[in-house]
A = this chain, B = another copy of it.
Amino acid sequence: MHDALAILVTGGTFDKEYDELTGRLFFRDTHVVEMLRLGRSRLDISVETVMMVDSLEMDDNGRATIVERCRARAERSIVVTHGTDTMVETAKALAAGGLDGRTIVLTGAMVPYAFGSSDGLFNLGSALSFAQVLPPGVYVAMNGQHFRWNEVRKDRDRGVFERVS
């Protein structure tokens, strides 16, 4: 393992776009590369698109693939972009995945990056920073906060992540 970072893209609100022909939200390519350019990122980062799915469509197969892709990466620090609704479930799968020695940070957005009012750029800057300095483990980083995988839940009614004991 080495000191560069990897971003594994799995879809989620982060990357949704508006289809002007159908009026529906859909996935095309990830916006992560454009976001890193906007942030003038000078980190050594590899971006890998693992899948592009809605958080509600993420299943055990998908989670197994994410664990496997994390294991295959040579980087010590990994950010996983993910839909918020099932982010905690994927964090659990990663924690059970035996990825010792790595700092893995899941992040996402409440509003698609392509829309004017997205929290995505803030969360990406935050997740990349936590991934560099937190000790090995699996974390969720949202809204400026970070949580260990086993001390967080999403309150869907309020759309926020909160600490559980």
**A114 to B114, Cβ gap below 8 A?**
no
Bound form: Cα–Cα A116–B120 in Å? 14
Contact pattern, A 145-165, Cβ under 8 Å of B = 1, otherwise 0 = 110000000001111110000
**B20 to A111, Cβ gap below 8 A?**
yes
Q: A13-B20, A18-B112, A125-B129 given. 10 additional CB < 8 A pairs?
A: A21-B156, A38-B122, A40-B142, A42-B145, A43-B143, A114-B116, A122-B125, A125-B125, A126-B128, A130-B133
Residue of B nearest to A124 (CB): B122
Residue of B nearest to A35 (CB): B122
**A–B complex contacts, Cβ < 8 Å, 8 sampled:** A20-B110, A20-B159, A35-B122, A39-B119, A42-B160, A121-B122, A128-B144, A132-B146
